[in-house]
Amino acid sequence: CQPPERLRLMSEEFAKQPLLHDPGDDFLYAIQFDILGRVLEAASGKPLDTLLRELITEPCGMDSTFFRVPRDRLVDLQPCYVPDPATTYLREEGEDTAGGSLLTDV
């Protein structure tokens, strides 16, 4: 499955599950932002990265905000500790998730 298709399928499976709590009764850290991202994709007919770029990052002048940082922009990121120096935070593949894969230097 390609990432958008996988997110669509995952969202459909989650929609079949019963709620653990009545809305407003309790809080459970979850993937609601990922589901929201999928809802936005479905409603707009556009991938999440395109939608966010068109509606938020470009109008706000946030030209250093990415789901996948281009290699030529890696120098703009602050170096940070990683257990294995051979690894990187650069994602060239994978899903764009509203719940935690967006990077910015703004």
Instruction: Determine the structural domain holding residue 94 and report its residue range.
Output: 68-105
Our count of domains for the chain comes to 2
Whether residue 35 sits in one domain with residue 9: yes
Q: Does residue 63 belong to any structural domain of this protein?
A: no
Of 5-9, 26-30, 63-67, least confident by mean pLDDT is 26-30
Whether residue 52 sits in one domain with residue 10: yes
Whether residue 50 sits in one domain with residue 83: no
Mean pLDDT of 85-90: 60
Closest to 66 (Cα-Cα) out of 89, 46, 82, 83: 89
Distance of CA 31 to CAs 7, 12, 73, 105, Å? Answer: 11, 13, 29, 24
pTM for the full model? Answer: 0.60
pLDDT at 64 over 80: yes
